[in-house]
C-alpha cells in the first residue's frame, strides 16, 4: 500500500525499468506533415530544456536502467547541441538512435554525429516520388532526403526507412520498396498513421481503405518473397481495421518514458493530450521518482483501472487494454475500452469514422498542414 492507495505494479516486460527513453528535443521542425504526432498547440510550447538539463535526464535515466535512446522531435537536428547530447548518451552507455527528416543534415554534421557515438538513424521518406513527398511535407526536400540516405549508408550507419502510410502514397508500395532496396536500406517500416493530434484533424483525408491496405500488404509480401533477407520489411495493419487494439506502449508506464521538449515526462508521446492527469516535469522531480512514484505514471499500470469487458478479457495481457489516448479522443474517458477493439462497447465509433473517411467527396477538403495556429 501507498498513501495514495494500492500500489500498481510495473509490468514485468522491462523488469520495472524504462528500457526505452524517448527524448523529444524540440517541437520545432521545418516540415508541415499533416499527420505529425506533436501537440496541436506545439507553437506555444517554447521553454525547451537546456543542454545541462538534458544531460541530467540522461544520467538519471541510465542509472534507472534505460538502454535504448531515441532523439526525436519535431526535428532534433534543429538543436545545435545534438552532437554534445549524443556524446553524453554514448558515454553513459546508451544505444543511440536519431529519428529525423534529415533536414538540417549534411555530410560534415553526419560525421560529427558518428564521431560522437550515434549508432543508428531512422529517416522518414513519404514516397519514391518527389512530387508526392514534397506536397505531403510542405517543402521541396525529397532529393535532399535521398542524398542524405546515401550519405548515411556511406558513413556506415544502419538505416531504418520509415514511410507514414496514408491514402496519398499507399499505391506507391512496390516503387517505394524498389527505391529502398537500391539505396541499401537495412529496415523499412510501413508505419500506418495512427490518428492522434494532426493526423486526427486530417483523418478523413488521410485514411486508406481496407482494400488499399490489403493490396499494399500483398505487394509487400510478394517483395519479401522475391528479395529474401536482403532487407527487413515491417508492416502492421492499423488497428482501425484490425478488430483489436495495439498494445499501448507495451503497457502504460511499463518500458517506455518520453520526455517532452519542455521537460514534461510522459508514458507515451501523445499522453499530454489527456486532460485530468498532472504529468510531472523533470525540472521539478527526479526521473526515478517520476517513474516509480508519480501518480500520473501509476494511473493506468496493471489492470485495476480497467472497466468491463477489458477487466475480464483473456486478451488483456496482450494489449493492456489498448490505447488510453485513443480511448480518450474517441469516447471522452481515457479509462474506457479502446474503441479499436471489436469487444468494446464503443467500437461503433471506429465504424463511423471509417464510413466518414470513405465518403466519395472526402478528397474535396484540403489537408490541414502542421503549423502554429493552423489547428
Is 313 marked as a binding-site residue?
no
Is pTM, for the whole model, over 0.85? yes
Instruction: With a cut of 50, say whether residue 3 has pLDDT above it.
Output: no
CB 108 within 8 A of CB 151: no
Residue 246: band (very low, low, confident or very high) from pLDDT cuts 50, 70, 90: confident
Burial 292-320 (b: 16+ CB within 10 A, else e): bebebbbbbbbbebbeeebeebeeeeebb
Closest by CA position to 201, among listed 258, 267, 273: 273
Instruction: Provide the grid cell at 5.
Output: 492507495
Place of cell 498513421: 193
Is 268 marked as a binding-site residue?
no
State the Cα–Cα distance between residues 256 and 250, nearest whole angstrom. Answer: 8
Residue 146: per-residue pLDDT: 98
State the Cα–Cα distance between residues 354 and 349, nearest whole angstrom. Answer: 9
Residue 359: per-residue pLDDT: 82
What are 111-170's pLDDT values in tens digits? 999 999 999 999 999 999 999 999 999 999 999 999 999 999 999 999 999 999 999 999
Residue 293: per-residue pLDDT: 96
Is 341 marked as a binding-site residue?
no
Residue 372: per-residue pLDDT: 79
Q: What is the mean pLDDT of residues 243-268?
A: 92
Q: Going from the N-terminus, what domains does the chain have, and what CATH number goes with each?
A: 20-241 (3.20.20.70)
CB 25 within 8 A of CB 55: no
Amino acid at each position: 500500500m501507498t498513501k495514495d492507495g494500492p500500489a500498481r505494479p510495473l509490468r514485468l516486460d522491462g523488469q520495472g525499468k524504462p528500457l526505452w527513453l524517448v527524448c523529444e528535443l524540440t517541437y520545432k521542425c521545418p516540415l508541415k506533415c499533416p499527420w505529425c504526432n506533436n501537440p496541436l498547440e506545439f507553437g506555444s510550447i517554447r521553454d525547451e530544456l537546456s543542454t545541462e538539463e538534458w544531460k541530467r535526464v540522461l544520467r538519471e535515466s541510465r542509472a534507472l536502467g534505460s538502454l535504448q535512446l531515441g532523439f526525436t522531435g519535431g526535428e532534433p537536428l534543429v538543436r545545435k547541441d545534438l552532437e554534445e547530447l549524443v556524446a553524453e548518451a554514448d558515454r553513459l552507455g546508451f544505444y543511440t538512435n536519431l529519428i529525423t527528416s534529415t533536414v538540417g543534415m549534411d555530410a560534415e554534421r553526419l560525421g560529427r554525429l558518428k564521431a560522437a557515438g550515434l549508432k543508428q538513424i531512422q529517416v522518414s521518406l513519404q514516397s519514391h516520388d518527389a512530387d508526392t513527398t514534397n506536397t505531403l511535407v510542405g517543402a521541396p526536400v525529397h532529393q535532399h532526403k535521398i542524398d542524405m540516405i546515401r550519405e548515411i549508408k556511406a558513413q556506415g550507419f544502419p538505416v531504418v526507412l520509415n514511410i507514414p502510410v496514408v491514402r496519398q502514397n499507399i499505391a506507391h508500395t512496390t516503387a517505394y520498396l524498389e527505391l529502398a532496396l537500391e539505396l541499401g536500406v537495412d529496415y523499412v517500416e510501413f508505419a500506418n498513421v495512427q490518428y492522434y493530434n494532426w493526423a486526427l484533424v486530417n483523418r478523413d483525408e488521410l485514411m486508406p481503405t481496407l482494400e488499399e491496405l490489403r493490396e499494399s500488404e500483398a505487394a509487400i509480401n510478394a517483395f519479401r518473397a522475391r528479395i529474401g533477407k536482403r532487407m527487413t520489411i515491417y508492416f502492421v495493419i492499423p488497428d482501425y481495421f484490425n478488430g483489436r487494439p495495439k498494445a499501448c506502449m507495451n503497457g502504460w508506464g511499463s518500458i517506455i518514458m518520453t520526455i517532452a521538449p519542455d521537460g514534461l515526462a510522459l508514458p507515451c508521446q501523445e499522453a499530454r493530450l489527456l486532460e485530468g492527469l498532472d504529468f510531472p516535469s523533470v525540472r521539478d522531480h527526479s526521473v526515478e521518482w517520476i517513474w516509480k512514484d508519480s501518480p500520473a505514471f501509476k494511473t493506468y499500470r496493471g489492470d485495476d483501472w480497467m472497466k468491463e469487458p477489458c477487466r475480464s478479457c483473456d486478451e488483456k495481457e496482450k494489449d493492456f487494454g489498448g490505447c488510453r489516448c485513443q480511448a480518450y479522443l474517441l469516447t471522452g474517458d481515457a479509462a474506457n475500452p479502446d474503441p479499436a477493439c471489436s469487444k468494446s462497447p464503443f467500437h461503433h465509433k471506429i465504424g463511423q469514422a471509417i464510413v466518414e473517411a470513405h465518403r466519395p467527396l472526402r478528397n474535396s477538403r484540403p489537408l490541414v498542414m502542421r503549423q502554429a495556429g493552423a489547428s
